[in-house]
Amino acid sequence: MGFLDRMSTVVQAKMNKMMDKIEDPRETLDLSYEKQLQLLQNVKRGVAEVTTSKKRIELQKVKLQMSIDKLDSQAKEALSANREDLARKALENKAALQAQAASLDQQIADLNDQQQKLMAAESRLATKVESFRTKKETIKAQYSAAEAQVKVTESVTGISEEMADVGMAVQRAEEKTENMKARSAALDELLESGTLTDLSGGDEIEKELAKVKAQSTVDDELAKMKAEMKK
Amino acid sequence: MIIRILGEGQFRLDDKLLDELNRIDNRIVDHVQKGDEKAFRQDLDRLISTIKEQGEPVDPVDIFPSGIIVPPEDMSFQEARQVFCGPGLIKD
């Protein structure tokens, strides 16, 4: 059996699951339509969820970038105060944060991709559902239960395939978002517990730089006093 | 023939291309069985780009079943193995 045949079997199984066997084909139409509307709501929720996850990670990226910028200016400040050791430490921390930021960029790109695909799927499904609704009313009005059978089979199979497809897409997106949520929560914890803020050198490097600055102010003042006393 | 790429909708393709798609399909089976992930990725990409380049997207207003169903382009190798060995792409 080829790969694509197997793929069709997988989708077929999902379709069968979705469509219950009903005697009156016109009833099948109504039931299918109800399920389509439900699925449409699901897709909308899926899109919203992916969008929320993306925003959350974008926010983390902004926070990280601020830390990176801060470390960068600290490194410069340290260098101009002739403290290469401090500058080195700041740059080392900066490199670690940059690696984190790159991973966030990748996640944002993935989520963006998911978001675009789901939105396209939503719009395709919405168009099909509307078209199905019109068709269903025509079939119900024009045919007896027996005559409707053939007409129903084609449109219901067609729409069920679309529904199986969209349903799977939503599930895949949910699984991916779930994975990222866990990673993102872990990063939030690091940010909150201060592990990353320490890494961002906020405290240690800042303190050292303040000391250096204070020292040089004292030196300046001493020099000034000495000069005045010599007069 | 009508082909569905999962996650991307349906495309209308000339029947003449069926042989080529079958050849790629057979190679994909081979790659999955041999565990050759790189070749699997290449041929899956080739399969999907052939359909997108040579086919015409079906108007979403039209409702009919597809003759062939193609996996999503971001299907992982692990998922492909599951299509063969396990319950399918997505758990119930």
Place of tokens 């409707």: A148
**A173 has a chain B CB within 8 A of its CB:** no
Other C-beta atoms lying within 10 Å of the C-beta of residue B51: 19
The whole-number pLDDT of residue B91 equals: 45
Q: DSSP readout, A91-132?
A: HHHHHHHHHHHHHHHHHHHHHHHHHHHHHHHHHHHHHHHHHH
Exposed e or buried b per residue across B28-44, where buried means at least 16 C-beta atoms within 10 angstroms of its C-beta? bbebbeeeeeeebbebb
The whole-number pLDDT of residue B42 equals: 95
The whole-number pLDDT of residue A205 equals: 78
Q: ipTM value of the model?
A: 0.85
Lowest model confidence (mean pLDDT) among A35-49, A125-139, A142-156, B35-49 = A142-156
Q: Which residue has the higher pLDDT, A188 or A145?
A: A188
CA dist list (Å): B84 to A28, B37, B56, B68: 32, 15, 29, 17
Q: Which residue has the higher pLDDT, A230 or A197?
A: A230
d(CA A170, CA B90) in angstroms, rounded, equals 11
Q: Quick one: average pLDDT of A5-29?
A: 76
d(CA A111, CA A119) in angstroms, rounded, equals 12
CA dist list (Å): A171 to A18, A43, A50, A123: 15, 9, 12, 17
Q: Is residue A117 within 8 Å of residue A169, measured between CB atoms?
A: yes
CB A4 to CB B68 under 8 A? yes
CB A154 to CB B88 under 8 A? no
**B15 has a chain A CB within 8 A of its CB:** no
Q: Which residue has the higher pLDDT, A179 or A227?
A: A227
- The residues that bridge with B9 in the sheet, in sequence order, are B5
* Tokens at A38, concatenated: 């439900």
Tallying the residues shown for chain A, one arrives at 231
Q: Quick one: average pLDDT of A85-112?
A: 90
Q: Consecutive sets of 10 residues in chain B, 92 residues long: mean pLDDT of each?
A: 93 93 92 93 95 94 91 90 64 44
Beta-sheet pairing, B9-12 with B56-57: antiparallel
Looking at chain B, which residue has its C-alpha nearest residue A165?
Answer: B6
The whole-number pLDDT of residue B90 equals: 46
Candidate from B66, B72, B80 with C-beta closest to A161: B66
d(CA A199, CA A204) in angstroms, rounded, equals 9
d(CA A149, CA A114) in angstroms, rounded, equals 38
d(CA A23, CA A31) in angstroms, rounded, equals 12
**A106 has a chain B CB within 8 A of its CB:** no
Place of tokens 């269903």: A136
- The residues that bridge with B11 in the sheet, in sequence order, are B3, B57
CB-defined contacts A:B, below 8 A: 90
The whole-number pLDDT of residue B66 equals: 92
d(CA A109, CA A177) in angstroms, rounded, equals 12
The whole-number pLDDT of residue A22 equals: 58
Q: Mind telling me how many Å the CA of A91 is from chain B's nearest CA?
A: 37
CB B60 to CB A169 under 8 A? no
The whole-number pLDDT of residue A18 equals: 67
Q: Give the global pTM.
A: 0.77
The whole-number pLDDT of residue A195 equals: 57
